[in-house]
Amino acid sequence: MTYRRIGLGMAAMALLAGCQSASHRKTDWQTGPPATGHVTVTVNHNDNDAATAAFAFPAVPPPSRVDAATAAQFTLVDGETDPNSGGLDTLHDGQAPTEADQPPANFFFNAGTDGGRLLVDLGQAVKIREVNTYSWHPGARGPQVYELYASDGGAGNFNPRPRRGTDPDKCGWQLVANVDTRPKDSSGGGQYGVSISDTAGAIGQYRYLLFDMSDTEEEDDFGNTFYSEIDVIGADLPAVEAESADQAASPVLFVIPTIDGKCKITIDTRTAPPLADWADHQLAPVLAKWYPRIVALLPSPGFTAPTHYTITVKRMDGVAYTTGTHIFVSEQWIQDQMHGQAIGSLIHETVHIVQQYGWGRRNNPDATPSPDWLVEGMADYVRWFKYEPQSHGADIVWMRKQRNFTPGYDDSYRVTANFLDWVSEKDDPEIVAQLNAAMRDGKYTDELWNRYTGQTVQELGKEWQNQIETQLAAKPASANVPKKGAE
């Protein structure tokens, strides 16, 4: 959604389509050098369905990776940082969030407070063409409400850190703009881009910027905006052009839809650029095809699988892990396993995206915990027996390669995956879907095995173990016909 620009007096504020777009006439008492133009506030909004990590807007440029604020000093003059917030560095690190509700990638004030004041010291006076601010949250913490003041620090009465209760206008500061992007007819969830500019080409020459930020609502304690980035564009720098849809799908950060159009997947290789081509041409097509298949394998009544998730490649120990709707994977692991297990390991993690066993705990105060061995075994079952059975990564071929191997149904990962495949073929082809639905509802108990198969999980496990040990003791068949592999 785009909001047209209008020109008004200094104190005026206009609400268009529920959001503010205003222009302020400069006066002859400003602290920066005089100009003949008008300051203009442009607001663009992407709703929750349209928002992506590219922060692509029709009339507001995307976040800049390097600008005058990159090396600036950001200081909290008044207010409290929320303990779940990212630090002030997140506002000028050139790294925008990759999903809607990502607290560590945003800065926001403490719950239950009414915002605060933020000082930006550019280090020297800069001729400023634009000040751009960005935010992203699925609810009331998406819109932006603030007043922007500026100063070159030259006034005799200049106060560099005016706390709440001190009028900046009376201590060497110039009011540049009022910003209020709250819509009238909704909670305002989504992604916001605000660009403050001047028809004369420059807002003024300033060293200091002061943001007096307010909360967006007072109905509950969670009304402080998730600010994602603040950019200060110097007038002597090339203009930052808004990215087209093709440009937004950059080689290091891009968003793909699944083949059924029901989910968007963000793949972020910004800290591992050499892997961008692999992610784009090898990983992305597989995920686009297989995410809907995994959703279909693991349904449950009343549940809708996530419609957006993110994969971030970074330097880290281990292989990969999933939290909420965000997968983190080791750059080194991908490099080492690019032509081996890399994609399969991310299919495993994508199963965790779909499982969402916290859903039951949120809806059922008496939810029972899901056994870790079954959670991981189910993810490996989808990987090794649905996605890549031709790899023989969890069947008897793999087991024969293990030394001193004694299988146990609750050994987790590949071993449990084999057990699940055996039960599904022997007793009930829907056993995995049924167990998944129970765990997602927070209603898993061992009694379910008896209900679905007529045997306890211990009885099933012993029978399966005996068959595996018999196969391991026998000579391998001279010819092995594998299952059909993933398409």
Judged against a pLDDT cut of 90, whether residue 240 lies above it is answered with no
Cα 30 to Cα 217: distance, rounded to the nearest angstrom:
32
pLDDT band with cut points at 50, 70 and 90 for residue 487: low
Least trusted range by pLDDT, from 259-273, 279-293, 442-456: 259-273
Give the mean model confidence (pLDDT) for residues 84-99. Answer: 90
Residue 5 to residues 15, 25, 244, 379: CA-CA distances in angstroms?
Answer: 11, 14, 21, 51
Burial of 468 per CB tally in 10 Å (0-12, 13-18, 19+): buried
Number of helices followed by number of strands (H, E) in the chain: 12, 16
Judged against a pLDDT cut of 90, whether residue 393 lies above it is answered with yes
Judged against a pLDDT cut of 50, whether residue 224 lies above it is answered with yes
Label the pairing between strands 326-330 and 308-314: parallel
- Residue 168: the pLDDT is 97
From the list 342, 367, 353, the residue with the least C-alpha distance to 441 is 367
Q: What angle do CA 388, 393, 396 make, to 5 degrees?
A: 120
Cα 410 to Cα 378: distance, rounded to the nearest angstrom:
11
Correct CATH for 15-243 of 2.40.50.1070, 3.10.350.10, 3.60.15.10, 2.60.120.260: 2.60.120.260
- Residue 400: the pLDDT is 94
Least trusted range by pLDDT, from 56-60, 67-71, 156-160: 67-71
Give the mean model confidence (pLDDT) for residues 418-444. Answer: 96
Label the pairing between strands 264-268 and 308-314: parallel
Supply φ then ψ for residue 200, to 5 degrees. Answer: -80, -10
Tokens of 461: 């496990």
The residues facing 134 across adjacent strands are 193, 229
Give the mean model confidence (pLDDT) for residues 272-281. Answer: 92
- Residue 25: the pLDDT is 31
DSSP assignment of 123-167, as one string? Answer: EEEEEEEEEEEEEEESSTTSS-EEEEEEE-S-STT--SSPPTTS-
Least trusted range by pLDDT, from 19-33, 244-258, 291-305: 19-33
Judged against a pLDDT cut of 50, whether residue 67 lies above it is answered with yes
- Residue 270: the pLDDT is 87
Give the mean model confidence (pLDDT) for residues 159-174. Answer: 96
Higher pLDDT, 189 or 246: 189
Give the mean model confidence (pLDDT) for residues 223-228. Answer: 96
Judged against a pLDDT cut of 60, whether residue 12 lies above it is answered with no
- Residue 485: the pLDDT is 54
Judged against a pLDDT cut of 90, whether residue 482 lies above it is answered with no
- Residue 26: the pLDDT is 32
Residues 6+ apart with CB under 8 A from 373: 410, 411, 412, 416
Least trusted range by pLDDT, from 125-139, 250-264, 326-340, 395-409: 250-264
CA gyration radius, the chain: 28
Contact 350, 287 (CB under 8 A): yes
Euclidean distance between the first and final Cα of the chain, in Å? 39
From the list 283, 485, 289, the residue with the least C-alpha distance to 393 is 485
Contact 108, 141 (CB under 8 A): yes
What does the DSSP 8-state code read for residue 435? H
- Residue 242: the pLDDT is 37
Check the CA dihedral 426-442-410-318 and report its sign. positive
Judged against a pLDDT cut of 90, whether residue 249 lies above it is answered with no
pLDDT in tens, 227-239: 999 999 998 754 4
Supply φ then ψ for residue 393, to 5 degrees. Answer: -85, -5
Residue ranges of the chain that CATH labels 1.10.390: 253-473
pLDDT band with cut points at 50, 70 and 90 for residue 245: very low
CATH no. of 253-473: 1.10.390
Judged against a pLDDT cut of 90, whether residue 9 lies above it is answered with no
Least trusted range by pLDDT, from 31-35, 107-111, 173-177: 31-35
pLDDT in tens, 357-374: 987 777 778 889 999 999
Contact 224, 108 (CB under 8 A): yes
pLDDT band with cut points at 50, 70 and 90 for residue 483: low
Residue ranges of the chain that CATH labels 2.60.120.260: 15-243
Residues 6+ apart with CB under 8 A from 23: 5, 6, 7, 8, 38, 39, 40, 41, 199
Least trusted range by pLDDT, from 9-13, 207-211, 323-327: 9-13
Give the mean model confidence (pLDDT) for residues 71-81. Answer: 95
- Residue 486: the pLDDT is 55
- Residue 161: the pLDDT is 97
Give the mean model confidence (pLDDT) for residues 176-204. Answer: 92
Give the mean model confidence (pLDDT) for residues 84-109. Answer: 92
From the list 173, 82, 198, the residue with the least C-alpha distance to 119 is 173
What percent of the residues of the chain are helix, what percent strand, and what percent coil, each to the nearest 5? 30, 25, 50
pLDDT band with cut points at 50, 70 and 90 for residue 251: low
- Residue 358: the pLDDT is 83
